[in-house]
Each structure stands twice: as C-alpha cells, then as structure tokens.
Amino acid sequence: MSGYFVTEGSKFKGRPLTTLPVVLNRDLSLIINSNLQLKSSHDLEHLRSIAQQRDEWTKLTARVREAAEASQSGALRCERP
C-alpha cells in the first residue's frame, strides 16, 4: 500500500482505477466531522495505528458502515418520485 503513494513517471490517462486506497479514501470521506483521509503515506500510517487498537478500529468501521448505509438510503429516497 505504501508504494501507491510513490509518484513515478507520468500520470495514468483514462478512467481512474478502482484501487484499495481509492475505495478507502472514499469510505473515509463519508464520515461526517472526521479529518480522516487517505491521501499520503502519513495518512496510511495513521490508519495502521488505529487498526492496531481493536476498540478504535471497531468504532471507525462502525462509523463508516453507518455513513455508507445513510448515504445509500438517502440516494434511494431521492430516486423515488
């Protein structure tokens, strides 16, 4: 995962790839009032430290799950006339 943040060569052209860091960052951005993100190797190390603390990781994953469920139910409400 840490190799993902190493910038070498030119940028990829075309549709953005769906990678684990991209999905993690998207999931973390769903959490309201959270400063967690996955934009650098420093952020990755911070998430690793949270993951090593079982209680903190459980709380974080619960918040991500709740935010994802809330955003999906909100999207379903918007689709219905």
- pLDDT tens digits, residue range 16-47? 778 888 888 888 888 877 888 888 888 889 99
Does residue 3 register a pLDDT over 70? Answer: yes
Mean pLDDT, rounded, of the chain: 81
What is the predicted pLDDT for the residue at 75?
58
Nearest to 65 by CA among 28, 37, 33: 28
**Nearest to residue 27, comparing CAs of 43, 11, 38?**
38
59 pLDDT higher than 90? yes
Residue partners of 40: CB distance under 8 A and separation at least 6:
5
Which residues are within 8 A (CB) of 29 and not within 5 positions of it... i.e. 6 or more apart?
A: 37
Q: Rounded CA gap, 28 and 80, in Å?
A: 27
Please state the rounded mean pLDDT for residues 55-72: 90
